[in-house]
Amino acid sequence: MSINIATGADQGITVNRFTETAIVRRKKLAEFFARGVFLLMTLLMIVPLILIVGYLFYKAAPILSFDFIFSNPARGMRAGGIWAALLGTIYLVVISLVIAAPIGVMAAVYLNEYAKDNWFTRIINLAVVNLAGVPSIVHALFGLGAFVLFAGMGRSILAASLTLAIMTLPVIIASTKEALGAVPAAFREACWNVGATRWQTIRGIVLPNSVSGILTGIILQVSRAAGETAPIMFTGAVFYKAIEEGNVFAYGLLDQCMALSMHLFTISTQVPGVPEALPFGTAVVLLGTVLLVNAVAIVLRVYLRSRKRW
Protein backbone atom coordinates (compact mmCIF):
# COMPACT_ATOMS: atom_id res chain seq x y z
CA MET A 1 0.00 0.00 0.00
CA SER A 2 1.40 3.42 -0.92
CA ILE A 3 0.44 6.74 0.59
CA ASN A 4 0.89 10.03 -1.25
CA ILE A 5 1.21 13.12 0.91
CA ALA A 6 0.62 16.39 -0.90
CA THR A 7 2.90 19.24 0.10
CA GLY A 8 2.60 22.92 -0.39
CA ALA A 9 5.21 22.73 -3.16
CA ASP A 10 3.11 20.15 -5.01
CA GLN A 11 0.16 22.49 -4.86
CA GLY A 12 2.16 25.53 -6.01
CA ILE A 13 2.24 27.11 -2.58
CA THR A 14 5.58 28.27 -1.05
CA VAL A 15 5.85 27.34 2.62
CA ASN A 16 8.73 28.74 4.76
CA ARG A 17 9.36 26.12 7.41
CA PHE A 18 12.13 28.22 9.10
CA THR A 19 10.27 31.40 9.90
CA GLU A 20 11.95 33.37 12.71
CA THR A 21 10.05 33.38 15.92
CA ALA A 22 9.87 36.29 18.33
CA ILE A 23 12.39 34.58 20.61
CA VAL A 24 14.93 34.21 17.79
CA ARG A 25 14.50 37.87 16.80
CA ARG A 26 15.06 38.97 20.40
CA LYS A 27 18.22 36.87 20.61
CA LYS A 28 19.57 38.35 17.37
CA LEU A 29 18.81 41.86 18.60
CA ALA A 30 20.61 41.17 21.89
CA GLU A 31 23.58 39.72 19.96
CA PHE A 32 23.71 42.80 17.71
CA PHE A 33 23.53 45.11 20.73
CA ALA A 34 26.28 43.21 22.59
CA ARG A 35 28.54 43.25 19.53
CA GLY A 36 28.03 46.99 19.17
CA VAL A 37 28.85 47.63 22.84
CA PHE A 38 32.06 45.58 22.66
CA LEU A 39 33.09 47.32 19.42
CA LEU A 40 32.48 50.71 21.03
CA MET A 41 34.58 49.76 24.06
CA THR A 42 37.39 48.63 21.78
CA LEU A 43 37.28 51.88 19.81
CA LEU A 44 37.28 53.88 23.03
CA MET A 45 40.63 52.27 23.88
CA ILE A 46 42.23 52.29 20.42
CA VAL A 47 41.17 55.66 19.01
CA PRO A 48 42.59 57.81 21.86
CA LEU A 49 45.85 55.85 21.67
CA ILE A 50 46.12 56.46 17.92
CA LEU A 51 45.34 60.15 18.39
CA ILE A 52 47.96 60.55 21.14
CA VAL A 53 50.69 58.77 19.15
CA GLY A 54 49.77 60.70 16.02
CA TYR A 55 49.93 63.99 17.93
CA LEU A 56 53.34 63.11 19.35
CA PHE A 57 54.73 62.31 15.91
CA TYR A 58 53.21 65.49 14.46
CA LYS A 59 54.84 67.67 17.12
CA ALA A 60 58.16 65.79 16.95
CA ALA A 61 58.45 65.75 13.15
CA PRO A 62 60.60 68.93 12.88
CA ILE A 63 63.36 67.48 15.06
CA LEU A 64 63.34 63.75 14.35
CA SER A 65 66.51 62.66 12.50
CA PHE A 66 69.50 60.36 12.88
CA ASP A 67 71.53 63.33 14.12
CA PHE A 68 68.97 63.89 16.88
CA ILE A 69 69.31 60.28 18.01
CA PHE A 70 73.10 59.95 17.81
CA SER A 71 74.20 63.33 19.18
CA ASN A 72 74.45 64.51 22.79
CA PRO A 73 72.41 67.32 24.34
CA ALA A 74 73.94 70.76 23.81
CA ARG A 75 73.51 74.35 25.01
CA GLY A 76 72.17 73.36 28.40
CA MET A 77 69.95 70.65 26.82
CA ARG A 78 68.13 73.25 24.71
CA ALA A 79 69.61 71.79 21.52
CA GLY A 80 71.41 68.70 20.25
CA GLY A 81 70.13 65.16 20.59
CA ILE A 82 69.49 62.38 23.09
CA TRP A 83 72.28 59.85 22.55
CA ALA A 84 73.47 59.83 26.17
CA ALA A 85 69.91 59.39 27.48
CA LEU A 86 69.02 56.72 24.92
CA LEU A 87 72.13 54.67 25.65
CA GLY A 88 71.56 54.97 29.39
CA THR A 89 67.98 53.71 29.01
CA ILE A 90 69.18 50.72 26.98
CA TYR A 91 71.77 49.88 29.66
CA LEU A 92 69.21 50.10 32.46
CA VAL A 93 66.56 48.02 30.68
CA VAL A 94 68.92 45.31 29.44
CA ILE A 95 70.78 44.87 32.74
CA SER A 96 67.57 44.82 34.78
CA LEU A 97 66.14 42.28 32.33
CA VAL A 98 69.22 40.05 32.60
CA ILE A 99 68.88 40.13 36.39
CA ALA A 100 65.11 39.86 36.80
CA ALA A 101 64.15 37.38 34.07
CA PRO A 102 66.17 34.32 35.23
CA ILE A 103 65.37 34.90 38.90
CA GLY A 104 61.68 35.47 38.20
CA VAL A 105 61.34 32.40 36.00
CA MET A 106 63.19 30.14 38.45
CA ALA A 107 61.13 31.43 41.39
CA ALA A 108 57.92 30.79 39.46
CA VAL A 109 59.06 27.28 38.51
CA TYR A 110 59.73 26.49 42.16
CA LEU A 111 56.41 27.92 43.39
CA ASN A 112 54.36 26.19 40.70
CA GLU A 113 56.18 22.87 40.28
CA TYR A 114 58.00 22.09 43.51
CA ALA A 115 56.53 24.01 46.45
CA LYS A 116 53.82 22.34 48.51
CA ASP A 117 50.50 24.08 48.99
CA ASN A 118 50.78 25.22 52.60
CA TRP A 119 50.52 28.44 54.58
CA PHE A 120 54.10 29.45 53.81
CA THR A 121 53.78 29.24 50.02
CA ARG A 122 50.39 30.98 50.20
CA ILE A 123 52.05 33.87 52.05
CA ILE A 124 54.77 34.03 49.39
CA ASN A 125 52.20 34.09 46.58
CA LEU A 126 50.27 36.83 48.37
CA ALA A 127 53.48 38.82 48.83
CA VAL A 128 54.31 38.53 45.11
CA VAL A 129 50.86 39.83 44.15
CA ASN A 130 51.08 42.72 46.63
CA LEU A 131 54.60 43.68 45.55
CA ALA A 132 53.38 44.09 41.98
CA GLY A 133 51.20 46.97 43.16
CA VAL A 134 53.77 48.81 45.29
CA PRO A 135 54.38 52.38 43.99
CA SER A 136 57.67 52.92 42.20
CA ILE A 137 58.77 55.61 44.66
CA VAL A 138 58.80 52.97 47.43
CA HIS A 139 61.07 50.78 45.31
CA ALA A 140 63.25 53.84 44.72
CA LEU A 141 63.74 54.40 48.45
CA PHE A 142 64.45 50.69 48.93
CA GLY A 143 67.07 50.79 46.17
CA LEU A 144 68.64 53.89 47.70
CA GLY A 145 68.96 52.23 51.09
CA ALA A 146 69.84 48.69 49.98
CA PHE A 147 72.09 49.16 46.97
CA VAL A 148 73.38 52.74 47.04
CA LEU A 149 74.08 53.02 50.79
CA PHE A 150 74.16 49.55 52.38
CA ALA A 151 75.83 47.64 49.52
CA GLY A 152 78.15 50.55 48.77
CA MET A 153 77.45 50.65 45.01
CA GLY A 154 76.86 54.39 45.05
CA ARG A 155 74.61 56.02 42.51
CA SER A 156 75.35 53.88 39.49
CA ILE A 157 73.85 51.99 36.58
CA LEU A 158 74.19 48.74 38.54
CA ALA A 159 72.29 50.10 41.56
CA ALA A 160 69.55 51.54 39.34
CA SER A 161 69.26 48.32 37.32
CA LEU A 162 68.97 46.22 40.49
CA THR A 163 66.23 48.54 41.72
CA LEU A 164 64.34 48.17 38.43
CA ALA A 165 64.82 44.41 38.60
CA ILE A 166 63.33 44.26 42.12
CA MET A 167 60.42 46.42 40.96
CA THR A 168 59.58 44.28 37.92
CA LEU A 169 60.30 40.87 39.47
CA PRO A 170 56.74 40.28 40.80
CA VAL A 171 55.24 40.78 37.32
CA ILE A 172 57.56 38.20 35.81
CA ILE A 173 56.90 35.71 38.62
CA ALA A 174 53.12 36.11 38.38
CA SER A 175 52.96 35.84 34.58
CA THR A 176 55.34 32.88 34.52
CA LYS A 177 53.26 31.05 37.15
CA GLU A 178 50.15 31.57 35.06
CA ALA A 179 51.93 30.26 31.96
CA LEU A 180 53.24 27.18 33.80
CA GLY A 181 49.84 26.49 35.30
CA ALA A 182 48.23 26.57 31.85
CA VAL A 183 50.22 23.51 30.71
CA PRO A 184 47.86 20.49 31.10
CA ALA A 185 48.62 18.19 34.03
CA ALA A 186 48.27 15.24 31.66
CA PHE A 187 51.55 16.26 30.02
CA ARG A 188 53.37 15.94 33.33
CA GLU A 189 51.69 12.67 34.21
CA ALA A 190 52.59 11.15 30.84
CA CYS A 191 56.26 12.01 31.40
CA TRP A 192 56.26 10.63 34.93
CA ASN A 193 54.66 7.41 33.73
CA VAL A 194 57.56 6.75 31.35
CA GLY A 195 60.13 7.32 34.10
CA ALA A 196 61.08 10.99 33.57
CA THR A 197 62.12 12.96 36.64
CA ARG A 198 60.36 16.14 37.68
CA TRP A 199 63.19 18.32 36.34
CA GLN A 200 63.29 16.44 33.03
CA THR A 201 59.54 17.02 32.69
CA ILE A 202 59.91 20.73 33.44
CA ARG A 203 62.85 21.18 31.11
CA GLY A 204 61.51 19.15 28.19
CA ILE A 205 57.75 19.66 28.35
CA VAL A 206 56.55 22.37 30.72
CA LEU A 207 58.93 25.21 29.87
CA PRO A 208 58.82 24.79 26.06
CA ASN A 209 55.02 24.85 26.15
CA SER A 210 54.83 27.90 28.43
CA VAL A 211 57.58 30.07 26.97
CA SER A 212 55.13 32.31 25.09
CA GLY A 213 53.40 33.22 28.36
CA ILE A 214 56.75 33.81 30.04
CA LEU A 215 57.69 36.26 27.29
CA THR A 216 54.49 38.18 28.01
CA GLY A 217 55.75 38.95 31.51
CA ILE A 218 59.13 39.97 30.14
CA ILE A 219 57.47 42.32 27.64
CA LEU A 220 55.63 44.00 30.50
CA GLN A 221 58.91 44.26 32.41
CA VAL A 222 60.65 46.01 29.53
CA SER A 223 57.83 48.53 29.09
CA ARG A 224 57.72 49.43 32.77
CA ALA A 225 61.48 49.58 33.29
CA ALA A 226 61.98 51.91 30.32
CA GLY A 227 59.34 54.37 31.47
CA GLU A 228 60.10 54.64 35.19
CA THR A 229 61.71 57.79 36.54
CA ALA A 230 61.60 57.68 40.34
CA PRO A 231 63.66 54.48 40.89
CA ILE A 232 66.52 55.62 38.67
CA MET A 233 66.41 59.22 39.88
CA PHE A 234 67.35 58.11 43.38
CA THR A 235 69.84 55.41 42.43
CA GLY A 236 71.76 56.17 39.25
CA ALA A 237 70.37 58.71 36.79
CA VAL A 238 71.85 62.18 36.48
CA PHE A 239 70.70 65.51 35.11
CA TYR A 240 73.41 65.60 32.42
CA LYS A 241 76.41 63.48 31.46
CA ALA A 242 78.50 63.89 28.34
CA ILE A 243 79.68 60.68 26.68
CA GLU A 244 81.35 59.77 23.42
CA GLU A 245 78.78 59.94 20.64
CA GLY A 246 78.12 56.67 18.84
CA ASN A 247 80.07 54.58 21.37
CA VAL A 248 77.78 51.87 22.74
CA PHE A 249 80.28 51.07 25.52
CA ALA A 250 80.52 54.63 26.82
CA TYR A 251 79.05 53.73 30.22
CA GLY A 252 80.47 51.45 32.90
CA LEU A 253 78.42 49.53 35.44
CA LEU A 254 79.47 51.85 38.26
CA ASP A 255 78.95 55.03 36.25
CA GLN A 256 75.95 57.27 36.51
CA CYS A 257 73.92 57.73 33.35
CA MET A 258 71.23 59.78 31.71
CA ALA A 259 67.87 58.15 30.90
CA LEU A 260 65.14 59.09 28.47
CA SER A 261 62.36 59.20 31.07
CA MET A 262 64.29 61.50 33.40
CA HIS A 263 65.62 63.55 30.49
CA LEU A 264 62.05 64.10 29.27
CA PHE A 265 60.98 65.18 32.74
CA THR A 266 63.97 67.50 33.04
CA ILE A 267 63.61 69.35 29.74
CA SER A 268 59.84 69.60 30.19
CA THR A 269 59.86 71.08 33.69
CA GLN A 270 63.33 72.24 34.71
CA VAL A 271 64.94 73.81 31.63
CA PRO A 272 63.49 77.08 30.28
CA GLY A 273 63.63 78.01 26.60
CA VAL A 274 63.52 74.44 25.25
CA PRO A 275 62.25 74.22 21.65
CA GLU A 276 58.71 72.89 21.48
CA ALA A 277 59.65 69.88 19.34
CA LEU A 278 62.46 68.67 21.65
CA PRO A 279 60.32 67.09 24.43
CA PHE A 280 58.02 65.54 21.84
CA GLY A 281 61.00 64.10 19.96
CA THR A 282 62.34 62.60 23.18
CA ALA A 283 58.93 61.09 23.95
CA VAL A 284 58.69 59.57 20.45
CA VAL A 285 62.14 57.98 20.72
CA LEU A 286 61.28 56.57 24.16
CA LEU A 287 58.02 55.20 22.81
CA GLY A 288 59.72 53.82 19.71
CA THR A 289 62.43 52.11 21.78
CA VAL A 290 59.84 50.35 23.94
CA LEU A 291 57.76 49.37 20.91
CA LEU A 292 60.82 48.02 19.09
CA VAL A 293 61.85 45.81 22.00
CA ASN A 294 58.25 44.68 22.47
CA ALA A 295 57.87 43.92 18.77
CA VAL A 296 60.93 41.68 18.81
CA ALA A 297 59.60 39.85 21.87
CA ILE A 298 56.11 39.52 20.32
CA VAL A 299 57.51 38.08 17.09
CA LEU A 300 59.53 35.58 19.11
CA ARG A 301 56.45 34.74 21.18
CA VAL A 302 54.30 34.15 18.09
CA TYR A 303 56.98 31.91 16.62
CA LEU A 304 57.29 29.86 19.79
CA ARG A 305 53.50 29.68 20.19
CA SER A 306 53.20 28.26 16.67
CA ARG A 307 55.44 25.37 17.74
CA LYS A 308 53.31 24.46 20.73
CA ARG A 309 52.40 20.81 21.06
CA TRP A 310 48.84 21.44 22.21
Predicted local confidence at residue 15, as pLDDT:
52
Which DSSP string do the residues of 92-130 spell out, in sequence order?
HHHHHHHHHHHHHHHHHHIIIIIS-SSHHHHHHHHHHHH
Predicted local confidence at residue 164, as pLDDT:
93
The parts of the chain modelled with pLDDT lower than 70 are 1-18, 307-310
Predicted local confidence at residue 133, as pLDDT:
82
Question: Is residue 256 within 8 Å of 241, Cβ to Cβ?
Answer: yes
Helical H segments across 114-259, by residue range: 119-131, 136-143, 157-181, 185-193, 198-201, 207-227, 230-235
User: Domain extents for the chain?
Assistant: 92-306
Question: Is residue 302 within 8 Å of 284, Cβ to Cβ?
Answer: no
The secondary structure of residue 169, as a DSSP letter, is H
Predicted local confidence at residue 145, as pLDDT:
92
Predicted local confidence at residue 3, as pLDDT:
46
Residues contacting 272, CB < 8 A, separation 6+: none
For residue 266, the tally of other CB atoms under 10 A from its CB is 24
CATH architecture, domain defined by 92-306:
Orthogonal Bundle (1.10)
DSSP three-state, residue 295: helix
Residue-wise pLDDT tens digits, 256-276: 999 999 999 889 888 888 888
For residue 40, the tally of other CB atoms under 10 A from its CB is 9
